[in-house]
Structure formats: C-alpha cells, structure tokens
Amino acid sequence: MSVRPGVIERYREFLPITEKTPLISLGEGSTPMVLSENIGPRLGCKALYFKLEGCNPTGSFKDRGMVLAVAKALEAGKRRIVCASTGNTSAAAAAYGARYGLETIVLVPSGEIALGKLAQAMAYGARILAVNGSFDDAMTTVIDIVDAIDAELVNSVNKYRIEGQKTGAFEIVEDLGDAPDMMCLPVGNAGNITAYWKGYKEAQTRGMARSLPRLMGFQAAGAAPIVLGKRVAHPETIATAIRIGNPASWKTAVEARDESGGLIDKVEDREIIDAYLMLARDEGIFCEPASAASVAGLLRLGELGVDVAGKTIVCILTGNGLKDPGTAEKRALVELEYVEPDLESVVNLLKKH
Ligand code: AN7
C-alpha cells in the first residue's frame, strides 16, 4: 500500500481484479502532465504535454503493468516471476518482486542494457541472467523456460501487464477532460501502444472521454520491424530500451495504429539525441533516449504530412534520464571546467565565456 492510491486502487473498477487480488502498490501512477514551455509553442500546438512516466517508483511506465501482474501472480500463489528485458521491465519486476517476497529472475541481453537499469535489478536483489544474444533471443528463451521453472511470466504477453498500463490513458483523459487529438510514444515490444489504445477505447465507452486520439508510434530507424513490415535480425540503436527486432505485441500495435487513424514511423538515432537534448535544455526534462523518440517523432510529423498546429498533443516520456547516465555523458558534450576552490579563480574562469 501507499498513502496515495496506486493504479490498482485508483482504477479497481476498470481492472480484472477480484476480492482475492491484493491491492499492492509502490505508489505508481498519477504521473505529472507537464505543459511544454517552448517546443509546443514553436510548433504552434494548442497545447503540448509531456507525461512524465519517469516519475514512477522504478523510473519508468513499466510499474503500471507490473503492479497488476505481480498482484495476480500473488493471487495465484506463485513464488517466482521471470521476464526478458531491455532493462526497465526487469527493474520493475525486481522491485515489486522484492517487496512482495517473490523470487525474480530477469534475462537481459548481455552488455546491452543501460547502467541505471542494471544497477536497479542488482539493488533489488533479482537473479540476473545475462543472455549471450539480443533482447529477442532473451524473449524467446523466457517463453521456452517459463513452465519448466514454474514461474509467472511478467512480460507484456501477460495480459495483466497491458491491463495495468492502460491506466495511463485514464489519467490523461481525467487530466484533460477528454482525449487529446494525438498522442506520441516510442514503440519497442509494442505493449504500451496496445495498452493505451485499449485504455482510450474503454474511457470512451465508459463516458470518461468523448473522443479518441490518433496514436503516433515511433520506432528507432535501426530497430523498426513494424515500419518495415518484417523482423529485424540485428536491431541497432542508441535507444537500448527499444532495440527490439520482433515485438511481442506487433499485431495489436498495428490495430491500434489503424483503428486510431494514426501511424507508426521511424526516427534516426541523431533525431532521438537531438530531441533528448532539446527536452533537457528547452524544457528541463531529462528522459531516457527511447522516451525522446516520441518527441523526435512529433518533430517529424510535419514532414509526414500531419498538421500539429492548433492541436492538443501528449508525448509519453516513458523513462527517466537517470536510467542511462552513459548516454548523457557521451552525448551532452559538456566539458567539465576544473577550478581552484576560491573566489578569484571562479570569477576569472566564468569571465572567459
Ligand atoms: C523507456 O523493459 O521492452 O513498446 O524490456 O523501456 O511497450 O515495449 C522496454 C520498453 C519505451 C517501449 N520506452 O515500450 C523492456 C522493454 C522505454 C522502454 C519502451 C520501453 P513497449
């Protein structure tokens, strides 16, 4: 439990829970919707909001779905959870697993996950299997082993993950009083776009929203199977969170795209880094590279023939920038200025520019 209700309690009537489902929480959900000060006005949007999913307890949107998947695992009497991950799912699984006494096993692509995410899985005490292969190899392996090791699978092929993640859409319609015109988000394993679309449709059915948004999903150019219409054997991108070549929720992502009149397109690593730095320097928001793909995509919409002027748009910033300190250190290109600890030295140094 947490003092403010987490997503299970807040949205219990929208979720597949029973009297036996424990109302567990680490304080996930209710994340800030921050109005853009600079990027939105430059684009002529009516209003551009950033939903800061990095403010969740483990620093990413994964907590919304993980809390429900773990609650259902506990309800079913499971003792062990397992997942494959590019890092954030493993951090969330490890946190909720630790808190509620489940053994957590995570399979991650060896040497390919951001430092902050690895640090989290270590701190929470998960067993970390570094797989000699990609995320897609880790995912295939998890599906192969899950029954043999008597564990609950907590990847987004677990339907409770999608159910929990759809609460992001409910929060947005509650904050805005209706759905936005468009919502931009990164697409990796494609669970989140699937979940948001389900959430928006339910919000409309239940009278919480009148309209539905167009969903604009963005993959990294080197890991864009949905855009290309075929698997990518060796996905490559600086945004390690979405370095995925064969998304689990491919079909439902395409449905979300088509039913919403949206699109799934790709953004180059260079555009991702530009958006990542633009968010930090023009908005004061530090998200991880994968999250910045949403804004990189927004910046490309004009080119893609989509008019953003006068529109209300939400970008989902899926994870916290602190997850991946290595990218900031390498790409922000700020040199440390070494100085003696006295007034004269500091003043003289600052005069130089
Ligand atoms: C920051 O943690 O797949 O399209 O294993 O960490 O729902 O997969 C993470 C994905 C976007 C893509 N932004 O979401 C994992 C994992 C961040 C992410 C995505 C991920 P999906």
Atom 12 of ligand 1, nearest CA residue: 188
CA of 61 from ligand 1 middle (Å) equals 8
Cα distances from 236 to residues 15, 133, 134, 276, 292, in angstroms, run: 36, 13, 10, 18, 16
Report angle CA 17, 21, 23 to the nearest 5 degrees. 100
- 11: nearest Cα among 249, 209, 202: 202
Ligand 1 near 195 CB (within 6 A): no
pLDDT at position 122 is: 97
Ligand 1 near 185 CB (within 6 A): no
Q: Which atom of ligand 1 is nearest to the CA of 253?
A: 4
Beta strands in 155-273 (DSSP E): 182-186, 214-220, 263-267
Task: Please write the tens of the pLDDT for every residue from 43-86.
Answer: 999 999 999 999 999 999 999 999 999 999 999 999 999 999 99
Ligand 1 near 242 CB (within 6 A): yes
pLDDT at position 15 is: 98
Ligand 1 near 191 CB (within 6 A): yes
CA of 341 from ligand 1 middle (Å) equals 43
Cα distances from 263 to residues 136, 191, 329, in angstroms, run: 24, 16, 33
Ligand 1 near 290 CB (within 6 A): yes
Q: Which atom of ligand 1 is nearest to the CA of 53?
A: 1
Residue 135 pLDDT grade (very low, low, confident, very high; cuts 50, 70, 90)? very high
Ligand 1 near 319 CB (within 6 A): yes
- Cα dihedral 177, 181, 182, 183 in deg (nearest 10): 0
User: Is the distance from CB of 211 to CB of 199 less than 8 angstroms?
Assistant: no
Ligand 1 near 223 CB (within 6 A): no
Output the DSSP codes for 105-170: EEEEETT-S-HHHHHHHHHTT-EEEEESS-HHHHHHHHHHHTTTTT-EE-STTSHHHHHHHTHHHH
Task: Please write the tens of the pLDDT for every residue from 161-219.
Answer: 999 999 999 999 999 999 999 999 999 999 999 999 999 999 999 999 999 999 999 99
CA of 189 from ligand 1 middle (Å) equals 6
User: Is the distance from CB of 300 to CB of 217 less than 8 angstroms?
Assistant: no
Report angle CA 326, 107, 122 to the nearest 5 degrees. 55
User: Is the distance from CB of 10 to CB of 29 less than 8 angstroms?
Assistant: yes
HSE-CB of 99 using CA atoms within 13 angstroms = 20
Task: Please write the tens of the pLDDT for every residue from 278-294.
Answer: 999 999 999 999 999 99
What one-letter code names the amino acid at 295? V
- Rounded CA-CA distance 81/156 in Å is 13
Ligand 1 near 165 CB (within 6 A): no
Atom 1 of ligand 1, nearest CA residue: 319
Atom 10 of ligand 1, nearest CA residue: 241
Q: Residues 87-104: what's their mean pLDDT?
A: 98
Residue 1 pLDDT grade (very low, low, confident, very high; cuts 50, 70, 90)? low
Whether the full predicted model's pTM is greater than 0.85, yes or no, is yes
| Secondary structure (3-state) at 31 | coil
CA of 242 from ligand 1 middle (Å) equals 6
For a pocket test of ligand 1, which of 53, 55, 56, 86 has the largest count of ligand atoms closer than 8 A to its C-beta?
Answer: 86
Q: Which atom of ligand 1 is nearest to the CA of 91?
A: 2
- 118: nearest Cα among 287, 290, 325: 325
- 219: nearest Cα among 211, 210, 228, 207: 228
Report angle CA 324, 325, 327 to the nearest 5 degrees. 75
Ligand 1 near 89 CB (within 6 A): yes
